[in-house]
């Protein structure tokens, strides 16, 4: 509430819900423990803004004629940003989600008011704090997978692979960056579609017991070996 406000705008429970992934009721409960009014129960931990971006990418109701994420009016038309937020982020106001996506550089709003998605993934461009938060979560997941494979990899392995060559010319790197980014994004979007069909927050009709967090992560790495030799 204190540290992540938008200059010139009053901080709101809805915005804190977007930043933390908690429901508004849970945010109110935490505030109540600090002396502010409101109570509630925890029901989810998803980052709501990321869920909206994922829905925008995969849902044909919010696609243009070419199948790409369409430019959306805030609250007008059959496929508005407000409807997108309602479908994928529940009770959070569309304005609060838009403010968050604008803050991190995930979307832009043109002079005519339409909202355009700048990235097919929720990757903050303008906030070092958000980037560090994502980095910390990704590192924790990778370390957890490594630890699992060390402890139980023979009987219950988790997928952990990489491909690497160490004598690639610099001229080929740009092409490989583009190729790996495009194919990795395509794979992640396919995995996202499958997981969303089985996630009970997105698809309440999904049956089953227990609650498991599962996913797949992909990372790119590159190192200039000649420069490393010079630095030694």
129 or 75, which is more confident: 75
Which residue in this structure is represented by tokens 């992909």? 218
Residue 130 has pLDDT above 60, yes or no: yes
Which residue in this structure is represented by tokens 């109110």? 28
pLDDT band (50, 70, 90) for residue 146: very high
Residues 165-205 pLDDT 10s: 999 999 999 999 999 999 998 998 889 889 888 988 778 88
pLDDT band (50, 70, 90) for residue 24: confident
Where on the phi/psi map is residue 78: left (φ > 0), alpha (ψ -120 to 50), or beta? alpha
Residue count of the chain: 232
Residue 133 burial (CB < 10 Å; 0-12/13-18/19+)?
middle
Query: How far is residue 139 from each of residues 1, 38, 78, 157, measured CA to CA in Å?
Result: 27, 35, 40, 19
Which residue in this structure is represented by tokens 């819900």? 17
Over residues 131-155, mean pLDDT: 86
Please tell me the predicted confidence (pLDDT) of residue 119. Answer: 83
Buried b (16+ CB within 10 A) or exposed e, 26-42: bbbbbbeeeeeeeebee
Range scoring the smallest mean pLDDT among 18-22, 26-30, 35-39, 57-61: 35-39
Query: pTM, whole model, 2 decimals?
Result: 0.62
**Cβ atoms within 10 A of the Cβ of 214, count?**
9
Largest CA distance in the chain: 62
Three-state DSSP at 190 gives: helix
Most confident of 38-42, 56-60, 150-154, 171-175: 171-175
Please tell me the predicted confidence (pLDDT) of residue 126. Answer: 61
- Give the whole-number percent of the chain exceeding pLDDT 70: 89
Over residues 140-154, mean pLDDT: 91
Range scoring the smallest mean pLDDT among 37-41, 53-57, 187-191: 37-41
Where on the phi/psi map is residue 21: left (φ > 0), alpha (ψ -120 to 50), or beta? left
Which residue in this structure is represented by tokens 């692979």? 161
Please tell me the predicted confidence (pLDDT) of residue 56. Answer: 92
**Residue 127 to residue 79: CA distance in whole angstroms:** 29
* Tokens representing residue 20 in the block: 């933390």
Please tell me the predicted confidence (pLDDT) of residue 43. Answer: 31
Q: Are 159 and 216 in contact (CB under 8 A)?
A: yes
The chain-wide mean pLDDT, for the chain, equals 84
């Amino acid at each position: 509430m204190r540290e992540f406000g938008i200059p010139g705008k009053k901080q709101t429970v809805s915005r804190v819900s977007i930043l933390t992934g908690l429901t508004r009721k849970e945010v109110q409960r935490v505030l109540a423990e600090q002396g502010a009014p409101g109570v509630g129960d925890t029901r989810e931990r998803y980052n709501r803004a990321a869920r909206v971006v994922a829905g925008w990418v995969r849902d044909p109701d919010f696609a243009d004629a070419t199948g790409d994420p369409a430019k959306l009016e805030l609250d007008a038309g059959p496929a508005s940003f407000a409807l997108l937020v309602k479908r994928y982020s529940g009770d959070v106001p569309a304005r609060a989600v838009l403010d968050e996506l604008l803050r991190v550089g995930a979307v832009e709003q043109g002079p005519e008011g339409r909202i355009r998605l700048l990235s097919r993934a929720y990757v903050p461009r303008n906030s070092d704090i958000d980037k560090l938060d994502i980095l910390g979560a990704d590192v924790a997941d990778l370390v957890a997978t490594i630890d699992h494979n060390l402890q139980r990899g023979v009987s219950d392995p988790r997928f952990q692979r990489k491909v690497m060559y160490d004598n690639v010319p610099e001229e080929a790197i740009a092409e490989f960056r583009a190729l790996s980014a495009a194919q990795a994004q395509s794979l992640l979007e396919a995995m996202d579609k499958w997981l969303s069909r089985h996630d009970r927050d997105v698809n309440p009709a999904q049956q089953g017991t227990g609650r498991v967090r599962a996913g797949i992560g992909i990372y790119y790495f590159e190192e200039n070996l000649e420069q490393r030799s010079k630095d030694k």
